[in-house]
Amino acid sequence: MATDKKIFTDSGIEIKELYNQPVNNPGLPGEFPFTRGVQPDMYRGKMWTMRQYAGFSTAEESNQRYHYLLSQGVNGLSVAFDLPTQIGYDSDHALADGEVGKVGVAIDSLEDMEILFKGIKLDEITSSMTINASGFILLAFYIALAKKQGADLKKISGTIQNDILKEYAARGTYIYPPKASMRIITDIFEWCAAEVPKWNTISISGYHIREAGSTAVQEIAFTLSNGKAYVQAALQKGLDINVFGKRLSFFFNAHNNLFEEVAKFRAARRMWAGMMKELGATDPKAMMLRFHTQTGGSTLTAQQPYNNISRVTLQTLSAVLGGTQSLHTNGYDEALSLPTEAAAAIALRTQQIVAFESGAADTVDPLAGSYFIESLTNEVEAAAWKLIEKIDAMGGSVAAIEQGFIQDEIAKSAYEYQRQIENGEKIIVGVNKFQTTEKNKIPGFKIDEQVQTQQVEKLKAFKLKRDQDKVAASLKLLNEKAISGENLMPAVLAAVENYCTLGEIADELRKIFGEYK
């Protein structure tokens, strides 16, 4: 007997008791609109890149963690930077006090970058760097290091996140106003196309939008809208969509509702392909939505933390069944501290077990043809288009962010989610149901308080041994290029090669562009 109980996803999509109606044909994998995946053979041809997001304390300590992860089977590095680095301050700046090396690694100079990747050949790995406002400076550090290693820049591959719009909307690590930020981003598109053609110039990020409290539908609607804004800015600069379009990548969150998440990934691919075609792309590779996934940090609980291993496993499955190109799995202890080495190892083993033991990677798009999955993919897509139409009517993402629309929508969803947890409508195991009296014995990861002192001393010594005339000339050139409107990247690269620090470069541009408040 059918019940009249109604069940909804977090996006408000009603889940029917039974799905038995055929739905539209989703097409073939590797073919437009790529609903079923961007490669015809997916993981049978190439397994997703297994990354572990890591970076803490000093470049020396982070380098040790990278070597450990590489020895355990990681095939791509993912760098976390501390807050001062993210917002363009050197470790000796007053505003850096208390934050040096805390949520990521402190990188002030090319010397720090050399230590960070010591013993690691940049032309043999791919690196993803979660950096936005100061992403152009970190890219310059990375390229300068690759040149010092004698690498062929045409073979260097990796990604800088470089997605400033979601910083204004959800995360807050911005420096310059939107117009200047968009100029820097399109400068990177243009420069990389010529100098480092395999580099992914942006990772348009829904991850932080979801972490801020959005639903799955909002995550893809706001992310694809931001993507559209970047494409339009590049087109206005006269760049070729069929060239830069191939180097755009995306970064999504994987949450606990397995089927909604799979539907979200499939819908996002189909929507982006249609959007890029409408914007003028004719090369199928410029219409492909390629994405990295990270399991949901905000889903991890401090209560009964070992339950997080199960959550991460479900989220891993959703990313793999949804066709991700690259994946980071969170440590079970991350609601308590940065992940310990043991927690990072379990997180990596979770990916490896799904890859090599579960059978989930054996065939392409294994859930295709499911009445439920195909219906849900359609419903997620329809709901996301409605939001995108609202944003377009406001004049696009930049205008919607300036008017506070995107921020307000995320805040409403976050409030509603928390309300449902607190009144018991939504069950979080170990938090509002199935609780136990706990004595937390999870060993947390601690950052040595001496890290800041060490980093500041190292920076002081670094500044004393460089050629001050070259530093001054480099900053003057950067200032001139910022005013003239020329591409900034050659001047930034010259500055880092002449040992200007991250903070000096960011400050020089603050003089021209101002700061976003």
The answer, yes or no, to whether residue 319 has pLDDT greater than 70, is yes
pTM: 0.93
Q: What is the Cα–Cα distance from 302 to 311, expressed in whole angstroms?
A: 13
362-377 burial by CB neighbour count: b if 16+ within 10 A, else e?
eebbbbbebebbbbbb
Per-residue pLDDT band for 1 (boundaries 50, 70, 90) equals low
Least Cα distance to 412 among 172, 168, 215 occurs for: 215
pLDDT value for 57: 83
- Secondary structure class of 306 (helix, strand, coil): coil
By CB atoms closer than 10 A (0-12, 13-18, 19+), residue 493 is buried
Average pLDDT over residues 46-58: 87
Phi and psi at residue 127, in whole multiples of 5°? -125, 135
Mean pLDDT, rounded, for 206-216: 97
Token pair in block for residue 251? 């970064």
Sign, CA dihedral 274-277-283-287, equals negative
Distance of alpha carbon 161 from alpha carbon 248, whole angstroms: 10
Answer whether residue 330 shows pLDDT above 90. yes
C-alpha triplet 162, 165, 170: angle, nearest 5°:
110
pLDDT in tens, 445-463: 677 778 899 999 999 999 9
pLDDT class for 110, splitting at 50, 70, 90?
A: very high
pLDDT of residue 225: 98
Lay out the sheet containing 326-328: strands in order across: 199-200, 157-160, 126-130, 76-80, 49-54, 326-328, 291-295, 248-254, 202-205
258 vs 65, which has greater pLDDT? 258
Cβ–Cβ < 8 Å for 223, 166:
yes
Q: Is 350's pLDDT higher than 80?
A: yes
Of 271, 275, 269, residue with least CA distance to 289: 269
Q: How many CB atoms lie within 10 A of CB 461?
A: 10
How do beta strands 14-15 and 7-8 pair?
antiparallel
CA distances to 82, 104, 129, 131, 253 from 62, in Å: 12, 9, 13, 16, 24
CA pair distance 137, 398, nearest whole angstrom: 23
Token pair listed for 234: 């590049």
Pinpoint the alpha helices (H) of 56-177. Answer: 59-71, 83-86, 110-116, 135-148, 165-166
Please state the rounded mean pLDDT for residues 379-403.
97
DSSP letters for 15-36: EPS---S-------TTSTT-TT
Closest CA to 270 of 224, 229, 303, 236: 224
Q: Report whether pLDDT(492) > 60.
A: yes
- Please, is 286 exposed, middle or buried when counting C-beta atoms within 10 Å of its C-beta (0-12, 13-18, 19+)? buried
Provide mean pLDDT across the span 366-389: 97
Residue 2 has pLDDT above 70, yes or no: no
Res 181 pLDDT > 80: yes
Peptide bond preceding 33 in cis form (omega within 30 of 0):
yes
User: What is the C-alpha separation between 436 and 430, in angstroms, rounded?
Assistant: 7
Q: What is the largest CA-CA distance in the chain?
A: 83
**Relative orientation angle of helices 178-195 and 489-497, to the nearest 10 degrees:** 80
Q: Is the pLDDT of residue 106 over 90?
A: yes
CA 88 to chain CA mean position, Å: 19
pLDDT one-digit tens code per residue, 220-255: 999 999 999 999 999 999 999 999 999 999 999 999
| Averaged pLDDT for residues 118-139 | 96
Average pLDDT, the chain: 95
* pLDDT over 60 (residue 264): yes
22-34 per-position pLDDT tens digit: 788 899 999 999 9
Percent of the chain with pLDDT over 70: 99
- Among the ranges given (46-55, 151-160, 306-315, 348-357), the one the predictor scored with the smallest mean pLDDT: 46-55
